[in-house]
Structure 1
């Protein structure tokens, strides 16, 4: 098995997702900034001032502070303290806006489009702080992104990633003990903290979609994660749940994130409880390695469930595939498979 994920995929959707999934997470400002930009695109403005960005930016931070107080690695933050004061009612809207403009964007405007030490191939905006301006000038590519099929999924993907990052920070758990679990009935990912208290993180669909680039795992057709969409994607056990007891005998959790993929609903119905053709095993390995490269709780969970090294993870998947095949006999392939890759 070879890990061949294209983190630098040239598509605009993949470049946006690279920012959200692979950019540094020293603070959650980039998530608030991303949501602010996405929300303001509807106005079709070619430039956004810091004053225009400040309201949705700060409100997004405030909503998350109400649930999880830790939103950055720094011990002190003038901007975050101002948001906390606003929640307590000790400062006004105007004071919050002023502090946000002055301190909230100090690093995020420059760092947002930087992934793995370099700027993405197609930047979505240019910084314009000259001639009395403090704004970002939007490029045509971000409006092309807005018109893309996958645009409807992007805001929910930002929320999912944000929830995962802040939950890990606030639990202060040893990564080796971190176990993101799957609630089959509720379709949610959750963690258990001290005294087995359950903490819901995000929906499975929203948490997994970005790592499949919004595509069906088997057919590469576009999929959608909105609950209001009649064609909402299905959450599939790559290796069938029906063989759960045989995998449990080998200490493997078939409900683990490593075995969950998103599929087109018709493709999922066609697959049912059959075992996918072995060519998809490489795809599953690659998808899981994509998580691991992204450095967040799902990555630690997959490592804990499947192995500390690539070789161990390859052997684990092959062993589980063999178990599933012994108990299913037939391999399955979709009747539709578009060209593509993750």
Structure 2
């Protein structure tokens, strides 16, 4: 799995590795990351637990409202306090006090761990014993100044929603399936009454792999809806042959593309991406399979139970597309190669 995470351990890649591959015993990692986004404009690098507790508990309570399961353990005193607050039993001051006491016991220690080891560079230092909080490092402030920082909040939210859905459907893991609606930019599943349940944004879920780069040309893209270079959700194998490509709207066939590559002059249009790009798609799908539920199960269902089967699947789709559409396509590199 490590070969798919990053070639170079940049700060952005290390942060994304924490969000994508850190342990998910509870959702506190996501709440802590989102709290740090909220506090990124602080003039003080020391963030006391009291200050951190406000956004941290807020994010947990917001998610409890739509996803009651926020941890794999059967009970949690901290989550019970959050539920009491949401039910009007606990006051804001009481919730902050209980968050300081109970909410950070494990997440601060475990935050930087990926695959049982720490990432090379830390984004905060634990100073709870000496100063009652955490101290943000220069690495975090450099991250906050990066072009991709605005997209990371949405990526974290998307990842949180996917993990929640995996927990929610964990009783029947083999049946978990996430479908995609590229036109509405939504990932969704269905409940036991076959009703469509929206999970999160396609863009935010896919951008963790592409690291803010177009899948085809590596040009800069964004998942922030207000940005000029907002990414398109693109069908790798064109929608024009959707009747003969299996699971054309499946996550396996969706990538983020810049507008030039997707619909500009000289863009892909209804041509078939080259074998070089096909190999890139396979590598991306294997990366997503190496992540946690539910995308893993969905991709396995759509493309095959093992890597050999999955390679055979996309090769077959390629041959089918090439026989019909004839022309292939690959754009010039316009940015830094990051995946």
Same fold (TM over 0.5): yes
Distance 2:3 2:268 in 1: 25
- Number of the residue aligned with 2:27: 28
- Which secondary structure does the structure 2 equivalent of 1:69 belong to? coil
| 3-state SS in 2 of match to 1:196 | coil
**Corresponding residue of 1:333:** 330
Partners of 1:134 and 1:7 lie apart in 2 by: 34
Structure 2 distance, partners of 1:309, 1:49, is: 47
- Residue 7 of structure 2 contacts residue 338 of structure 2 at CA under 8 Å; is this kept in 1? no
The alpha-carbon distance between structure 1 residues 4 and 283, as it changes in their structure 2 partners (threshold 3 A), is: farther
For residues 281 and 210 of structure 1, the distance between their equivalents in structure 2, rounded to whole angstroms, comes to 19
Alpha carbons 2:112, 2:118 under 8 Å: kept: yes
The equivalent position to 1:314 in structure 2, one of 293, 311, 316, is 311
SS of equivalent residue, structure 1 residue 199: strand
Question: How many residue pairs align between the two structures?
Answer: 336
Gaps of 5+ in 1: none
Aligned 1:190-201 pairs, distance under 5 A:
190-201=188-199
The separation in 2 between residues aligned to 1:271 and 1:334, in whole angstroms, is 8
Q: State which of 244, 253, 256 in structure 2 corresponds to 1:246.
A: 244
1: CA distance, partners of 2:337 / 2:279:
14
Separation of aligned partners in 1, 2:55 and 2:25: 20
Q: What residue is the counterpart of 2:11 in the other structure?
A: 12
User: Counterparts of 1:156-167 in structure 2 under 5 Å?
Assistant: 156-167=154-165
TM-score by length of 2: 0.96
Q: After TM superposition, give the deviation of residue 44 of structure 1 in Å.
A: 3.4
- Runs of 4+ in structure 1 deviating by more than 3 angstroms, as ranges, are 6-9, 335-339
**Is contact 1:3-1:289 (8 Å) kept?**
no
Choose the corresponding residue for 1:303, options 297, 300, 308. 300
2:112: which partner in 1?
A: 113
CA deviation after TM superposition for structure 1 residue 142, in Å: 0.6
1:152 to 150, 153, 161: 150
Q: How far 1:115 moved relative to its partner?
A: 0.4
- Which position in structure 1 is the counterpart of 2:277? 280
Contact 1:234/1:268 (8 A) holds in 2: yes
